[in-house]
Structure 1
Amino acid sequence: MNKPTEIKYSLDENGEPYYAATHTQAVQGMETVETNIEDLMNFKETVIGDTGWVDFQFIPEVDKNTRFGEGDFKCGLKEVRFGDIRIKSIRLNIGNIPHNKQIAYIPTGFITKNNFFNCSTDGNSLPIRVEARTNGELKIYVHENDRNKSQKDIWIYQQFTWLE
């Protein structure tokens, strides 16, 4: 199709262009287009994905999903995939948090590189450090100035997101 193609339109009885109808089976190459579209849709399913929010387990003494009522987010893990890029998130909505103790079990493989996050809590405390390890361990470190507070008064309501 290197040569210019002249397109001529048929005219109806009023001199207006007339466009003839045809069936997809009468158009050359249509089955290739349909196959290519199906292949692209199948490819998209393997390259793009979203796990949605997945629940994970905490030790019994941690109060889970207790902050701010029913309308707010729950604890969860999420992975969104675009080809080789992974966007991972952890949501924490927890209270009664012990210092320097494993508080949750994240499924093995979700964390591929150790991550450390600082998060805020009530307005009267210094930031809390969250440590997420490749072995599935989730630990909390309370600042030394706040360790004398009652464990019941320590809470986290925050989402952490990173790229892999």
Structure 2
Amino acid sequence: MSAREDINVGKISGVFGIKGWVKVFSFTDPRENILNYSPWLLKKGSETRQLAVTDGNLHGKAVVAQLDGVNDRDQAAGLIGWDIFITHEQLPAATEGEYYWSDLIGLKVETVEGVQLGEVGSLLETGANDVMIVQGERERAIPFLQGQTIINIDLDAGMIIVDWDPEF
């Protein structure tokens, strides 16, 4: 398997106080889980910086964090708009039958009858169940229901087998 890409887990959205704390828009669930990962790889355009998270908490609905070496409001303001990434290795191992969405993106998808549908382009959280968006000769939205529409996921082979009508 090739080297995995870094995972975008949030964005620095503002400053908090005068001691260099930043406000964070977190993509993790729950949102304060972003604080469990350190260091953060910050990216903006072609620039990257790696900074350790030294403190942080949920402040109302916002996540705030203190980063190593960022000690005043001006330094924190310079980080607004930077994307926050972590490496795949920083994630806890998924348990049997659980998958990180980032592991599923790009996997080939075929039906139980062997019909190639394309590859996983993205996944969506709809409330009722997650939906896998498969890009092929056309786009398909397949409910991500393990044991129903999702028959088998083989990360090593890069393949997902689905029980799905290719005409749908």
Measured against the shorter chain, the TM-score band is under 0.3
Task: Judging by fraction of residues, say which structure has more helix.
Answer: 1
Give TM-score scaled by structure 2 length.
0.26
Give TM-score scaled by structure 1 length.
0.27
Task: Judging by fraction of residues, say which structure has more strand.
Answer: 2
Structure 1 or 2, whichever has the larger Rg, is 1
